[in-house]
Amino acid sequence: MYSKILILHFPPVITQKPIVYYLTKNFDLLFNILHARVSSEKAGYMVLEISGTKDNFNKGIKFLKNHDIKITSAEHEILRDDEQCTHCGACTAICPTEALSIKRPEMEVIYDKKKCSVCELCILACPTRIMKLSSKNTENIFK
């Protein structure tokens, strides 16, 4: 069983259509609506947990994309603007997982995203403000 939480952005022209019903009917996918909203401009926003086989999941995602639904991941990550990093080291005071650490003897500040717990403490601890919270890259969802 493959499962992911996704954020779907519906353009106004298709908000009225029962699109997600087809995820079950055509692709045998389970969906759980975690949040849904239609804006005053009639654009739709829906947070869905979608489960099924990996193959069906991919087909379902392709179907949604073909209907001009923009998909982002609900998962977030912390990104560093490497070019702007001054390698001061201030962030290493508060990083609880040592995702931000100092490479010695060079004294370079290393960011190992794999160790990051997305606690967000570094965002305001960085005096140059180069740590940013961002929606996880969705490219790998569609592979």
The residue (of 28 and 120) whose beta carbon lies closer to another protein is: 120
Which 8-state DSSP code applies to residue 61?
H
Pairing of strands 108-111, 76-80: unpaired
Q: How far is the CB of 94 from another protein (least distance, A)?
A: 5
The residue (of 33 and 93) whose beta carbon lies closer to another protein is: 93
The residue ranges that bind another protein (CB under 8 A) are 86-90, 92-94, 102, 104-108, 124-125, 127-129
Q: How far is the CB of 17 from another protein (least distance, A)?
A: 42
Of 84, 138, 74, 85, the C-alpha closest to 107 is: 85
Give dist(CA 116, CA 12) in Å, integer.
37
Question: For residues 78 and 133, is the Cβ–Cβ distance under 8 A?
Answer: yes
The residue (of 30 and 107) whose beta carbon lies closer to another protein is: 107
Q: How far is the CB of 95 from another protein (least distance, A)?
A: 10
Task: List, in sequence order, the alpha helices (H) in 32-120.
Answer: 54-66
Neighbours of 34 (CB within 10 A): 13
The residue (of 74 and 90) whose beta carbon lies closer to another protein is: 90
Q: How far is the CB of 136 from another protein (least distance, A)?
A: 25
Residue type for position 79: L
